[in-house]
Structure 1
Amino acid sequence: MKTRAAVLWDVNQDWKIEEVELGEPGPREVLVKTKVAGMCHSDEHMVTGDLSFANEAAIAMGIDPMFPLIGGHEGSGEVIQVGPGVTHLAVGDHVAVSFIPACGKCHYCAKGQQMLCDLGAKAFTKGMISDGRDAHHIGEEAVNTFAKLGTFSEYMLLSEDSVVKIDQDLPFQAAALVSCGVATGFGSAINRAEVKAGDTVVIIGCGGVGMNAVQGAAVAGAKRVIAIDPMEFKREKAMEFGATHTYESMEEATGAIGALTWGRMADSAIITVGVA
């Protein structure tokens, strides 16, 4: 089948809307009609080369070129076709995508560290996760997908390990946000910082990821959730997400944190500044 998608042909180029030919779902793969796709700063990093190599540079280093590439790694949609062997999804299911697949079987998944799943190592390689085949083409040229997703497309061909079933009444917009920004911020507090009840946590930068780090710290039971951002409306929003104190700058916050904690300072600091 054919789909329209936003394709990046190389570093420092513009996204272009192209017609892409999709293959049929293979074993343990699903075809998803995209409902909502989010624009993340990481997509811009693909353009600037901060998260990618130009094709010429990749070839010089002896690695497979990444471009052309269908962008997008956060989104939601509806399953419209399933391949052989799919076990936990059916046609009609509403889903969110995951920019790191989780097989549930490897060493790290067995330890509860799905973010280190062996399949995630293939996120920036060519072809499908399942068998490495090229399933996206523009004419005769194979097309890659960002994080093996490519949500900047009307339809997505995905491994079932990159898809999470969601409740039918969950809005697609909310699910798309959860698939990247919410999971990253919330997870940074819960999993990486391992915030415990009674902790003092500082979040530096209150954009989308930072707001969810605030929320994660609050849910984990932190006694003090201190949000730092120069923009007043973000500080106000941080209070709605669970911050107990907000400050405009590190200089302002440092003395206040010392006073609040009797000199012990913070148990953890989460830095979520997008561009510094």
Structure 2
Amino acid sequence: MVRAAVLPAVGAPLEITGIELPEPGPGRVRVALAAAGVCHSDLSLCDGTMRVPVPAVLGHEGAGTVVAVGEGVGHVAPGDGVVLNWAPSCGSCHHCSIGEVWLCADALTGAGAVHARRTDDGTELHPGLNVAAFAEETVVPAGCVLPAPDGIPLTEAALLGCAVLTGYGAVHHSARVRAGESVVVFGAGGVGLAVLQSARIAGAGQVIAVDVSPEKEELARRAGATDYVVASDTTPRAVRGLTGGRGADVAIECVGRPVTIRGAWESTRRGGRTTVVGIGAKDQLVSFNALEIFHWGRSLTGCVYGNSDPARDLPVIAGHIRAGAFDLSAMVTGRIGLEDIPAAFDDMRAGRGGRALVTFG
């Protein structure tokens, strides 16, 4: 038996309870978690913005140590440190065949996902986003584990599994920030802080952070922001004022609300690029009129998992971390236990802090 944070139903409080894991059969791996990041996507699963079968063990950003492997698993062995990959690619669908592994047809379907059971009543539990990282241990398909980069503590390597890959990829793969460009980042939470650091690595000449909380300014500047704007109805005007009246070359939105998506769009210059990383609800609409699309010549793109290939990008990111260019600790504003996850959700709702890490052991 291990402890886990279980979502019994959409909108219900999390329950910290004992669960029973199956033995790692063929093609599966059992991992003892060192840490798991509390991501806004977990909150979106709780409130129904994103839909998954329930009851479920949440958590998708984590790292730990392999406890056991099933038949046919050769890329990791017991004792190895691993990063969880919540969106494993199948390697054979259309998107995988053209190199778009982040859009793999199987990534969000839960194909091959491992189900645990509650110890108190035997109820089957779904893994929230394939890996069920809000637990002391988890059993996952082999494609959901990647060897952890050498020299990076597992408690911090957990952030690589979502926030860092998403933030780094948003800058380098989706927005394709070029040296000297100006970048405005909406939202200074976990992903936003990773975007700020990645924009600095890309050589952005000016990096503007936008957030509702004045208290996040120091956090954002530590991550690489050269300017800080407290979000308001006049945010686009403020961004244009900081960029010679033109607007930023690139806007990256990490909130997922119509007002911030629209604000990011309006904050870019004519011909600028807006990348939306944040996840909003399907009934939240963003409006553009036909004339402005023509006149401004801006582009608007979505971004899934940073448009990243974890196997390709993790070694590159690890190199930046070891070189001191990317500081994982600068993203962490709280180290908590399983029972503290609901309070971390409250902080996210209120716009407080960066990334909270659930630590085990």
Q: Give the conservation status (yes or no) of the 8 Å contact 2:212–2:232.
A: no
Counterpart CA distance in 2 for 1:163 and 1:264 is 44
Structure 2-normalised TM-score? 0.64
Q: Give the conservation status (yes or no) of the 8 Å contact 2:39–2:190.
A: no
Counterpart CA distance in 1 for 2:10 and 2:238 is 44
Give 1:203 deviation, angstroms.
Answer: 0.6
Which of 181, 188, 191 does residue 173 from structure 2 map onto? 191
RMSD of equivalent CA atoms: 2.5
Instruction: Please name the residue that 2:117 is paired with.
Output: 137
Superposition pairs of residues 190-209 of structure 1, within 5 angstroms: 190-209=172-191
Instruction: Please name the residue that 1:6 is paired with.
Output: 5
- Cα gap change, 1:229/1:87 in structure 2, threshold over 3 Å: closer, same or farther? same
Question: In the comparison of the two structures, how many residue pairs are matched?
Answer: 256
Counterpart CA distance in 2 for 1:137 and 1:51 is 22
Give 1:97 deviation, angstroms.
Answer: 0.8
Counterpart CA distance in 2 for 1:31 and 1:209 is 27
Which of 132, 156, 165 does residue 138 from structure 2 map onto? 156
Instruction: Please name the residue that 2:292 is paired with.
Output: none
Instruction: Please name the residue that 2:96 is paired with.
Output: 109
- Cα gap change, 1:157/1:42 in structure 2, threshold over 3 Å: closer, same or farther? same
Instruction: Please name the residue that 2:33 is paired with.
Output: 34
Give the AA of the match of 1:48: D
2:194 counterpart of 1:212: yes
User: Any idea what SS the aligned residue of 1:44 has?
Assistant: helix
Counterpart CA distance in 2 for 1:91 and 1:187 is 30
Counterpart CA distance in 1 for 2:215 and 2:40 is 21
Counterpart CA distance in 2 for 1:25 and 1:262 is 58
Q: Give the conservation status (yes or no) of the 8 Å contact 1:228–1:250.
A: no
Instruction: Please name the residue that 1:96 is paired with.
Output: 83
Q: Give the conservation status (yes or no) of the 8 Å contact 1:33–1:80.
A: yes
- Cα gap change, 1:237/1:141 in structure 2, threshold over 3 Å: closer, same or farther? closer
Q: Which runs of 5+ in 2 are unaligned?
A: 256-347, 352-361
Counterpart CA distance in 1 for 2:243 and 2:151 is 43
Counterpart CA distance in 1 for 2:172 and 2:35 is 26
2:47 counterpart of 1:84: no
Which of 102, 106, 128 does residue 119 from structure 1 map onto? 106
Counterpart CA distance in 2 for 1:81 and 1:190 is 35
Q: Give the conservation status (yes or no) of the 8 Å contact 1:93–1:168.
A: no
Q: Give the conservation status (yes or no) of the 8 Å contact 1:5–1:19.
A: yes
Cα distance per residue 1:37-69 (max 9 Å; x no partner): 22222222222222237xxxxxxxxxxxx1111
Which of 195, 201, 223 does residue 205 from structure 2 map onto? 223
Give 1:148 deviation, angstroms.
Answer: 1.0
User: Any idea what SS the aligned residue of 1:147 has?
Assistant: coil
Query: Which shifted more, 144-153 or 265-274?
Result: 265-274
Give the AA of the match of 1:20: I
Give the AA of the match of 2:95: Y
User: Any idea what SS the aligned residue of 1:90 has?
Assistant: coil
Structure 1-normalised TM-score? 0.82
Give 1:256 deviation, angstroms.
Answer: 5.5
Instruction: Please name the residue that 1:63 is paired with.
Output: none
Give the AA of the match of 1:137: R
- Cα gap change, 1:227/1:83 in structure 2, threshold over 3 Å: closer, same or farther? same
- Cα gap change, 1:12/1:254 in structure 2, threshold over 3 Å: closer, same or farther? closer
Give the AA of the match of 1:136: A
